[in-house]
Amino acid sequence: MTKTAQLIFEGKTIDLPIVEGTHGDRAIDITRLRSEAGLITYDPGYMNTGPCRSAITFVDGENGVLRYRGYPIDQIAERGSFTETAWLLIFGELPTRDQLARFSAGLCAEELLHEDVKHHFEGFPPNGHPMAMLSAIVNSLGCYHHDLLEIESKGEFYLAASKIISKVRTIAAFSYRKSMGLPFMYPNPALSYCRNFLHMMFSIPHRHYDPSPEAVRALSLFLTLHADHEQNCSTSTVRMVGSSQANLFASVSAGICALWGRLHGGANAGVVAMLEQIRDGHRTPREVLELAKQKKFRLMGFGHRIYKSYDPRAVILKKAAHELLYKLGKADELMDIGMELESAALSDPYFIERKLYPNVDFYSGIILRALNIPVQMFPVMFAIGRMPGWIAHWYEEHLEHKSKIHRPRQIYTGQVLRDYVPIDER
Ligand code: SDX
C-alpha cells in the first residue's frame, strides 16, 4: 500500500504518493501537483528537492555516511584504487580482475589526444586558467569523435567513458605544462593511471619523473574520494545538460564549469589562500573566524549542504595528508594552521550551532601541495576525480531512464501586461 501525503488547498484535498528509498529516505511525488492543484513548489537552491532517483551514491549527512554503490567510502579508500572506483560507479559492481585489467588497458589505449588538439592550447594565453582550458578542450573532444556524439549502445557509452576518463588527465597535464612554458610530455602506456598523470605533469625531456609509491597512492586516494557525491551542483548540471540529449563530452564539460565555482570545487584553492593569509601574518586564526562569523566571507573548506557532521572524506584526507608529509619527509605550515583553525572553529558556538564542519576541501590541498601540484590546478584535480561520477550520473539519466528534459517552473514576479512604447515617447 503506497503511503501518501495529503495536501488540502482551497477546499480541495489531494493525495500525493510518498516515494521511499533504500534506507528509508522519503519524498513526496509531486508529478501531479500542478495538474490537480494548480500549484508548483518553490525551493530556491533545491534545498528540499530531489530531481531523480539514483542508485549510484548514498550520503547520510546527519551521520557522516558516504557509500559508492553500497560500499563504505573508508573501505574503498583503504583497499580500492581510482580506476576500480570509476568502474564501480559507472557499472554498479566492483570489477573482476579481468574486467579491471581490460578497463585499465582501455584507458591506456585512449590516453593520447588527437595531434590537432595541441593547437587548441596555442590559442590560450600562458596565464589562462586551466579550468577554462579543461572545459573547452573536453567539449572539443566531440569534434574528434563524431561517432560518439549520439550514444545508442552500451559499447559506445563504454568507449566514450574510457576516452574521457583517460584524456581528461592528458588535457589537465598539458594545461599545466602550457602555463609553465614547458613542452608537453606525452603519456606513457607502461604507467598506471595516476603514475602516468604525474609523469605528464613533472617529467622533462630526457629526465623521467619517477614519483614515490606514496605519492602515487596519495593521488589515487585523492581522486577516489572526489569520484562522486550524489546530486551536488556539478553532477546535477551534468544530469540537466544530459537530459536535453546533449552528448557526453558537452555534458561533462558543463560539469567542469559548474565545479569551478568557489562555493564548490573552487573551494580547495580558497582554503589554501585562506591558510596562507594566516601563515603570512595578514590575519590570525581568530580574526579569520570572526570575519566568517560577521559574514564578511566564508570559512573555506567548512560547511556543507548535506553534511551536518564531519565529512567522512575530510577525516580520511586529514589522516592521509599527515601520512604523506611524514613519508615524503616534508612539513607544511598550512597543515598545522589548518588544524589550529579547525580546532578553534569546532569549539566556537557559531560553527557548532550551524553544524559547520570541515568538508572534503579543507585538507585536500595539503596533499596536492605535497605532490607539488600548483593551487591553480586544484579544481582541475577535483574534476579529474569527479569525472567517473559525472559519467555514471549522465548514463543513469540519459540511457537508463530515457528521462524527460529538465525544465523547472518559476514564480513570475515581473511587470503586468503593457504595450510597446515607441522610442520617441519614452
Ligand atoms: C563541495 O554538494 C556537495 O556534495 C559538494 C561537494 C561534492 O563532493 O560535490 O561535497 C564538494 O563543494 C564542498 C563544499 C565546498 N565549499 C566550501 O567549502 C565553501 C564554504 N562553504 C559554504 O559556502 C557553505 O557551507 C556551502 C556552500 C558549502 C553550503 O552552503 P549552504 O548549504 O547553502 O549553507 P547556507 O549558506 O544556508 O549556510 C547556513 C548558515 C548561514 O548562516 P545563517 O544565515 O544561518 O546565520 O551557515 C553559515 C551561513 O552564513 N555558513 C557559513 C559557512 N557555511 C555556511 N559561515 C561561515 N563559513 C562557512 N563556510
Q: Which residue has the cell 572534503?
A: 360
- pLDDT for 305-326, tens place per residue? 999 999 999 999 999 999 999 9
Known catalytic membership, residue 304: yes
pLDDT at 225: 98
Rounded to the nearest angstrom, the distance between the alpha carbon of 262 and the centre of ligand 1 is 11
Q: Which residue has the cell 516515494?
A: 19
Q: Which residue has the cell 495529503?
A: 6
The residue nearest atom 41 of ligand 1, judged by CA position, is 354
- pLDDT for 74-108, tens place per residue? 999 999 999 999 999 999 999 999 999 999 999 99
Percent of the chain surpassing pLDDT 70: 99
Q: Which of 199, 304, 393, 398 is catalytic?
A: 304
Percent of the chain surpassing pLDDT 90: 97
The residue nearest atom 54 of ligand 1, judged by CA position, is 303
The residue nearest atom 25 of ligand 1, judged by CA position, is 303
The residue nearest atom 11 of ligand 1, judged by CA position, is 264
- Residues in contact with ligand 1 (CB, 6 Å cut-off): 229, 232, 263-264, 267, 292, 295, 298-306, 354, 356, 359-361
Amino acid in position 27:
A
CA angle at residue 424 from 418 to 425, to 5 degrees? 40
Average pLDDT over residues 278-284: 96
Nearest of 306, 409, 393, 234 to residue 47 by alpha carbon: 306
The residue nearest atom 36 of ligand 1, judged by CA position, is 305
Report DSSP state, residue 348: S
Distance CA 129, CA 121 (A): 12
pLDDT bucket at 354, cuts 50 / 70 / 90: very high
pLDDT at 206: 92
Average pLDDT over residues 346-367: 97
Where does residue 410 rank: exposed (0-12), middle (13-18), buried (19+ CB within 10 A)?
A: exposed
Task: Say if residue 426's pLDDT is above 80.
Answer: yes
DSSP characters over 173-216 = HHHHHHHHTPPPPPP-TTS-HHHHHHHHHH-BTTB-----HHHH
The residue nearest atom 14 of ligand 1, judged by CA position, is 264
State pTM to two decimals.
0.97
- Sheet with strand 65-68: strands edge to edge: 57-60, 65-68, 71-72
Rounded to the nearest angstrom, the distance between the alpha carbon of 301 and the centre of ligand 1 is 9
**Average per-residue pLDDT in the chain?**
96
Task: Say if residue 291's pLDDT is above 80.
Answer: yes
Lowest average pLDDT, out of 165-169, 205-209, 233-237, 378-382, goes to 205-209
Rounded to the nearest angstrom, the distance between the alpha carbon of 356 and the centre of ligand 1 is 8
Q: Which of 229, 361, 393, 398 is catalytic?
A: 361
Give, for ligand 1, the residue of 294, 315, 342, 356 to mutate: max count of ligand atoms closer than 8 Å to Cβ. Answer: 356
Rounded to the nearest angstrom, the distance between the alpha carbon of 199 and the centre of ligand 1 is 35
137 near 153, Cβ under 8 Å?
no
Task: Say if residue 50's pLDDT is above 80.
Answer: yes
Rounded to the nearest angstrom, the distance between the alpha carbon of 302 and the centre of ligand 1 is 7
Rounded to the nearest angstrom, the distance between the alpha carbon of 137 and the centre of ligand 1 is 30
Distance CA 23, CA 67 (A): 12
Known catalytic membership, residue 114: no
